[in-house]
């Protein structure tokens, strides 16, 4: 074994002496590259483009809810079938094609080799294949929109029998195509996950011990392992559902001896860990940003790490809290209530550590720092309202109301957008070698955070009043049209439109700064981790002055023995 490794190593270095040819051709450089940074940016830009799709879908169906029957500018009249397809598209796109590619694939690909101090991923071609599969999954998803009968409208959870039988969902081609797209996306992320975990296990810079790994890398790795361990049953379930849809098997049909609740178990066994799969990288981003801009050591590195592992393990034992009213055994509901309430402890612990890191720091309110602070505040609201839903007694009332929607958007929006904006504004100088405009960054920040709360606080209020979700036109339900209820729906929708409009500020700022922004040096924020050792933007191979060695942990800010308030990981003394 060891001889094989040694020989392997020698051979690899032999190749490398000639290696790292820059591809000349534009197509080869940006579309056929095996460079982890290019692949990371491919994932980033694709994910952001999909966010436009998901954002447009929510705009169209929210307009229908606020102003039933109106002709929505840019879409036209939203029919009931459209409404179902739009809701499904919004949910599945935002989770599978925005949160996953941006938080795991884009950040993981871009940051892992840079932050652990090596030149690329261990399997660059596998990495490229992963992105190509991901792109293919998007093509299949778009095909499903235009298939006969329209796009799938059975919600991102795709429960049978609605999802299994074409006579119920009325999308004979849309439903299986949607499922195929999701399966392809899983395959892409499984390849990516294996690559990430292997790279961090084997290819760290000399001297980088376990507790010298930056927190965001730990989080991406724990998340990748969670993804790999949780997605299997859903892959199996997807094959079974696909056969139910296309061949007419009865895996989820009680008439044929199957069981529809089985799908819910298989789906949520993946679906709930998935929440933590995207949460943990977001928590990692916040750790990097908060330490850099508080100029302080992370309050309790090991606590964050152990609580993240604890979250990862406990995350596998909470899934049935989605099924409290699906007819599961009440004794089982008790157990899952307890595990669900328990998981708030490690997650809250992480937030407390970040608050403790801020205490006594020299805080700099840059745009990335504002996003990181907003993440902690807004995510806490999402976490606290989760307690209501995790307790099975309260959940019986809240189930399938807008309270649930408001709750999970208070978790997912901070994860998939607030933390991602923190990451993009923080690493922008590294990615493009230029600063983003701070003033416009802050306009975008407030233009996002304020409307965000004005969308979802009304939905909490509606949910508490029993407003049922998955309803196309509330005017048919007098109980849900009590005084004030429609006003809250209109308020939420107008806030949504405001939030979407302010994203234009970000897009313009992003592209103008990319080409016209102030030039950034290698380490613009005076941070410690290894990506700031490489030039901005890093060339192919990352570290032209040789791969770095590591001498200390990633968060040595304001060390009393040093004149400068930071101490990069690669500086010998």
Partner 1 sequence: MSMARPIATTRSATGISTGKLAVWWLIASEIVIFGGVLGSYVMHRLGHPEWADQAANTNTWAGAFNTLVLLTSSLAAVLAHNAAEMKDGKKAAKFLWLTILGALVFLVVKSWEWSTEIHHGFTITSHTFWSFYYTAAGIHGLHVIIGAIIMAVIAVDAAKGKDLQRVEAVGLYWHFVDIVWIFLFPLLYIAK
- Interaction residues for partner 1, span 92-121 (CB under 8 A): 113, 118-121
Long-range contacts of 329-333 (CB under 8 A, 24+ apart): 330/392, 333/392
What is the CB neighbour count within 10 angstroms for residue 551? 17
Q: Does 250 bind partner 1 (CB under 8 A)?
A: yes
Instruction: Please identify, among the stretches 16-24, 55-63, 81-89, 529-537, the one whose residues bind partner 1 according to the rule CB under 8 A.
Output: 16-24
Q: Which is nearer to partner 1, 241 or 286 (CB)?
A: 241
Q: Does 439 bind partner 1 (CB under 8 A)?
A: no
Are 276 and 312 in contact by the 8 Å Cβ rule? The answer is yes
Contacts of 482 (CB under 8 A, 6+ apart): 465
Beta bridge partners of 76: 72
Q: Does 309 bind partner 1 (CB under 8 A)?
A: no
Q: Does 195 bind partner 1 (CB under 8 A)?
A: yes
Residue with tokens 């309803």: 471
For the bound state, the minimum distance from the C-beta of residue 41 to partner 1, rounded and expressed in Å, comes to 18
Instruction: Choose, by CB under 8 A, the member of 26, 125, 515, 563 that binds partner 1.
Output: 125
# of chain residues touching partner 1 (CB under 8 A):
67
Q: Does 51 bind partner 1 (CB under 8 A)?
A: no
- Give dist(CA 419, CA 283) in Å, integer: 8
Tell whether the torsion through CA atoms of 378, 418, 439 and 500 is positive or negative: negative
Q: How far is CA 562 from CA 242, 556, 557, 558, 573, in A?
A: 62, 10, 9, 7, 10
Instruction: Please identify, among the stretches 46-54, 156-164, 215-223, 232-240, the one whose residues bind partner 1 according to the rule CB under 8 A.
Output: 232-240
Instruction: Please identify, among the stretches 227-235, 287-295, 371-379, 444-452, the one whose residues bind partner 1 according to the rule CB under 8 A.
Output: 227-235
- Give dist(CA 110, CA 39) in Å, integer: 8
What is the Cα 314 distance to its own chain's centre? 19
Q: Which is nearer to partner 1, 116 or 406 (CB)?
A: 116
Q: Which is nearer to partner 1, 41 or 492 (CB)?
A: 41
Q: Which is nearer to partner 1, 44 or 118 (CB)?
A: 118
Q: Which is nearer to partner 1, 247 or 572 (CB)?
A: 247
What are the DSSP calls for 241-284, one per residue? HHHHHHT---TT-GGGT--HHHHHHHHHHHHHHHHHHHHHHHHH
Q: Which is nearer to partner 1, 277 or 372 (CB)?
A: 277
For the bound state, the minimum distance from the C-beta of residue 55 to partner 1, rounded and expressed in Å, comes to 32
- Interaction residues for partner 1, span 149-178 (CB under 8 A): none
Instruction: Choose, by CB under 8 A, the member of 60, 183, 234, 353 that binds partner 1.
Output: 234
Instruction: Choose, by CB under 8 A, the member of 31, 52, 124, 457 that binds partner 1.
Output: 124
Nearest Cα residue to 502 out of 449, 435, 439, 423: 449
- Give dist(CA 491, CA 62) in Å, integer: 11
Instruction: Choose, by CB under 8 A, the member of 136, 262, 351, 505 that binds partner 1.
Output: 262
Instruction: Please identify, among the stretches 155-163, 230-238, 337-345, 373-381, the one whose residues bind partner 1 according to the rule CB under 8 A.
Output: 230-238
Are 250 and 244 in contact by the 8 Å Cβ rule? The answer is yes
Q: Which is nearer to partner 1, 23 or 535 (CB)?
A: 23
Instruction: Please identify, among the stretches 82-90, 148-156, 251-259, 444-452, the one whose residues bind partner 1 according to the rule CB under 8 A.
Output: 251-259
Q: Does 531 bind partner 1 (CB under 8 A)?
A: no
Are 517 and 103 in contact by the 8 Å Cβ rule? The answer is no
Tokens of 121: 């991923």
Q: Does 228 bind partner 1 (CB under 8 A)?
A: yes
- Give dist(CA 566, CA 84) in Å, integer: 52
Query: Which residues make up the interface to partner 1 (CB under 8 A)?
Result: 1-2, 4-5, 7-9, 11-13, 15-16, 18-21, 23, 28, 32, 34, 113, 118-125, 190, 193-195, 197-199, 201-204, 228-237, 239-240, 243, 247-251, 256-259, 262, 266, 269, 541, 547
């Amino acid at each position: 074994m060891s001889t094989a490794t040694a020989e392997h190593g020698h051979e690899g270095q032999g190749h490398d002496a000639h290696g790292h040819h820059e591809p000349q051709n534009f197509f080869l450089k940006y579309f056929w590259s095996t460079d982890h940074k290019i692949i990371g940016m491919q994932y980033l830009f694709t994910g952001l483009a999909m966010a436009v799709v998901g954002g447009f879908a929510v705009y169209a169906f929210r307009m229908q809810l606020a102003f039933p029957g109106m002709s929505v500018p840019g879409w036209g009249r939203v029919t009931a079938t459209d409404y179902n397809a739009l809701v499904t598209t919004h949910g599945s796109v935002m989770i599978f094609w925005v949160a996953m590619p941006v938080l795991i694939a884009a950040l993981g690909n871009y940051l892992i080799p840079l932050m652990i101090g090596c030149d690329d991923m261990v399997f660059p071609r596998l990495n490229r294949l992963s992105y190509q599969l991901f792109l293919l999954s998007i093509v299949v998803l778009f095909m499903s929109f235009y298939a006969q009968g329209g796009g799938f409208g059975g919600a991102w959870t795709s429960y049978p029998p609605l999802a299994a039988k074409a006579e119920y969902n009325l999308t004979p081609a849309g439903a299986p195509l949607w499922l195929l797209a999701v399966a392809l996306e899983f395959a892409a992320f499984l390849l990516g996950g294996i690559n990430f975990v292997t790279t961090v296990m084997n290819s760290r810079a000399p001297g980088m011990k376990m507790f010298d790994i930056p927190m965001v890398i730990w989080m991406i790795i724990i998340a990748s392992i969670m993804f790999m361990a949780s997605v299997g049953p859903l892959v199996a379930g997807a094959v079974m559902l696909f056969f139910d849809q296309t061949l007419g098997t009865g895996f989820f049909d009680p008439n044929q001896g199957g069981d529809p609740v089985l799908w819910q178990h298989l789906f949520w066994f993946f679906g709930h860990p998935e929440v933590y799969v995207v949460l943990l990288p977001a928590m990692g981003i916040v750790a990097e940003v908060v330490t850099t801009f508080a100029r302080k050591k992370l309050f309790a590195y090991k606590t964050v790490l152990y609580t993240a592992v604890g979250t990862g393990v406990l995350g596998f034992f909470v899934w049935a809290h989605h099924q409290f009213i699906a007819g599961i055994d009440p004794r089982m509901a008790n157990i899952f209530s307890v595990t669900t309430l328990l998981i708030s402890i490690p997650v809250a612990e992480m937030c407390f550590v970040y608050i403790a890191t801020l205490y006594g720091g020299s805080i700099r309110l840059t745009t990335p720092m504002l996003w990181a602070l907003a993440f902690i505040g807004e995510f806490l609201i999402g976490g606290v309202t989760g307690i209501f839903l995790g307790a099975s007694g309260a959940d019986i009332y809240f189930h399938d109301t807008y309270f649930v929607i408001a709750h999970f958007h208070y978790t997912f929006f901070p994860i998939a957008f607030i933390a991602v904006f923190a990451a993009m504004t923080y690493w922008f100088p590294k990615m493009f070698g230029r600063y983003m405009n701070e003033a416009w960054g802050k306009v975008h920040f407030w233009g996002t955070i304020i409307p965000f709360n004005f969308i979802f606080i009304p939905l909490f209020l509606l949910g508490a009043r029993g407003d049922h979700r998955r309803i196309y036109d509330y005017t048919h339900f007098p109980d849900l049209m009590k005084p004030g209820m429609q006003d809250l729906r209109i308020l939420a929708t107008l806030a949504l439109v405001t939030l979407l409009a302010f994203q234009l500020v970000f897009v313009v700022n992003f592209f103008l700064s990319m080409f016209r922004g102030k030039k950034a040096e290698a380490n613009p924020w005076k941070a410690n981790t290894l990506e700031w050792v490489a030039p901005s933007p890093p060339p192919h191979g990352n570290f032209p002055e040789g791969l770095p060695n590591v001498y200390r942990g990633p968060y040595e800010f304001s060390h009393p023995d040093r004149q400068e308030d930071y101490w990069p990981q690669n500086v010998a003394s």
